[in-house]
Amino acid sequence: MLKPLPTDEEIAKRTQAGDRYRRIAGVAIGAGLGLVFGWVSQSINSIMMPGLPFYQPPFGPVVNAVLCVLGGALLGLVSAWPHESAPGIVIAGVAGALCVGGLTLATARLDWNSGPGVIMSTLVLLLPLSALVVPIVWSLRWAANKQEDSYLAGYFTWSRVLAPFILVIVTGGLAATVLYPPEARPVLARMNVMVRAGLAASDPQTLPRPLQSEAMDGFLDHATSAYTLEWTQQSDRYGMIVYSTASPRDQSVVIAHFENGWTFVCLFATPEVEPVCKHLQQ
C-alpha cells in the first residue's frame, strides 16, 4: 500500500523544522570554526617559541579569540538563515566584509592627515573583501546544509561529521599561516634578551649598546616590564635605514610594544649583527 502524500501543512512544518535545525547548525559550526581559528592563530607562535611575549593586535589573544568565535557564529547564522543557499551566502559575504571594514576603522589610529585615506581605502576594499569572504560563508552553508539533510532524512549520515571535520582541518591550516618563519625566531629571541637586560639596567651606561643611542633616549623612563614583540620585514614602515652591505631578505625589524603605549623598533641586518634601534613617536 502506497504511503499518502504529505499535506501542505505537513510540508510547511517539515520545512520550518529543517530551517530551524540548519540555522542552529550554522551557528554551532561557525562558532566552532571561529574557536579553532582563534585558538590556533593566537597561540601557535607561543607554542612554537615559548617564553616570548607576542604582540597580537587589536585586543590581545583572549579577546581576539572571543571575537573569532562571535564572528564565526554570526557568519554561520547569516549564511544559514535564508531557505535558499545563494542569498544566505551573498548576504553573509557582505556582512563579513562590513565587519572587517568596521574593525579596521575602529582599530586604526586615524588623524586629520591619514583618516580620509584610510576610510577611502577601506570603502574601496569592501567589494574585494566580500569576494574573499564568500568561500568562507559558502563552506559554512555547505556544512549546515549537510546537517539539515541528515536531520530531514531521519537517520545518521557520515556527511554530517565529515563536512565539519574537513572545515576544522582547513581552518586550522589557515590559522597556522600566522606562524612567524624560522628566520624570525633568533631575532625575536635576541630582542627579548636585550629588552630584559635593558629593564634590569639601573643607569644609561649599563644599558645594552643598541639602547644607549640618542634615538633611544627615554628607555629607562618609559620601558615597563609588561611588553610584547612584533616581527616584520617591512622596515620602510618605520623609516629605518637598511644596511647596504646586507641582503634585504636577511634584514628584519622587531617592534617592542610596552603596556603604557611606549614603542621602539630595532633593525637587524642578521641575527648576529648588533641592531640599530629608535623609539617611535606616539
Q: Which residues form the domain of 258?
A: 184-279
C-alpha cell at 35: 574557536
The C-alpha angle 69, 71, 73, rounded to 5 degrees, equals 70
Which of 157, 178, 199 is the last residue in one of the domains? Answer: 178
Q: Model's pTM, two decimal places?
A: 0.83
Same domain, 109 and 194: no
Q: Which long-range contacts (CB under 8 A, 24 or more apart) does 46-50 make?
A: 48/179, 48/180, 48/185, 49/180, 49/185, 49/188, 49/189
Look at the chain and report how many structural domains it folds into.
Answer: 2
Which of 156, 178, 200 is the last residue in one of the domains? Answer: 178
Same domain, 139 and 262: no
SS3 271: coil
3 within domain boundaries? no
The helix (H) or strand (E) run that includes residue 277 is strand 276-279
Same domain, 188 and 88: no
Q: What is the pLDDT of residue 269?
A: 85
- 187-217, pLDDT tens digit by residue? 999 999 999 999 999 898 999 999 998 889 8
- 13-47, pLDDT tens digit by residue? 888 999 999 999 999 999 999 999 999 999 999 99
b/e burial code for range 78-116 (CB count within 10 A of at least 16 → b): bbbbbeebeebbbebbbbbbebbbeebeeeeeeeeeeee
> Which residue has 644599558 as its cell numbers?
207
Same domain, 116 and 138: yes
Mean pLDDT score, 124-134: 65
Q: In 10 A of CB 67, how many CB atoms?
A: 16
